Structure 1
Amino acid sequence: MKYRLDLEKEYFKFAATHFAIFSKDSAERLHGHNYFVGVSFEGDELDPELGLLIEFNEMKPAIKQICEDLDEYVLLPVESPFIRVHETNTEVEVLFAQRRYTFPPVDCKILPLVNISCEELSRYICEKIAAKLPAKHFIKRLRVSIEETRGQTGIYTHNL
């Protein structure tokens, strides 16, 4: 791609609790991260009238909102073949191997993911951002990075 614009604002972040699953009976302990989100917009041409690939100010509020929608939740992957998530009005029960967790529903975000990993979260956020692109844009590729701790980043690239 000829052009790339990167957005990594200080407020593109969220704090969340999770456990990553490694197999049917192996997973991390429940813990949290302060995640940081970076977004790259790529394309081969600019808007001929404005000389812009995309107007940043159109996307910053959308990205911030996506981060806020994940902030301060227990993130749970409903598509995992290894865990069961059962939600009632009073609790969310999570069963994994010999573990059983219960959480208040207000504290949980059940996501259509196989795992709560940097890779899966970067794809999830990338798809959310792609759905928020304005009708007129010159973006051909969207890339989202999720840093869960310094030096540990997952990246997803989506061709439009």
Structure 2
Amino acid sequence: MEEHRLSAAWAGARPSGRPAVVTGVFDLLHVGHVRYLAEVAARGLPVVVGIEDDERVRAWKGPTRPVNTAAERAEVMAALRSVAGVFVISGPPDAAGWRDYVGLLAPMEPAALAFTAGDPHTEAKRLGAEALGAEAWEFGLTEARSTSAMLEVIASRS
């Protein structure tokens, strides 16, 4: 039996129906996030957002990240009109391959996995969607809008 190394803790009620799933850090909410999630929701499925926990983010992005805790990031995402549900993803930082996410997402029976153009994990997300029997939805990126870019601007003004 395959060991599942990732877990999901729902922040609030789990929505019904087969969702479109989006995963990420979502550290500082910006217009790129809002537009992206609205585009995913416009396709008609409930949108559920998986927020990476603090330990995983620190391992990937360094000791100063995330700026906001996973609980706060989940609360902000849940407040968006386009989001039907939010869960926090926990597990060892090295559990980041498509098979790890398939094990996590399979019980949710997603109808689609959504991601942005240029996502470094695009191929993994396509493989995961195929393994889950879900569609892979790629959306355009809002140019020059990212949390890392925002943090660089803030640091340069200090």
- Tell me which of the two structures has the higher relative contact order, counting C-alpha pairs closer than 8 angstroms and 6 or more residues apart: 2
Q: TM-score, normalised by structure 2?
A: 0.29
**Structure 1 or 2: more helix by fraction:** 2
Which protein has the larger Cα radius of gyration, Structure 1 or Structure 2?
1
Q: TM-score, normalised by structure 1?
A: 0.29
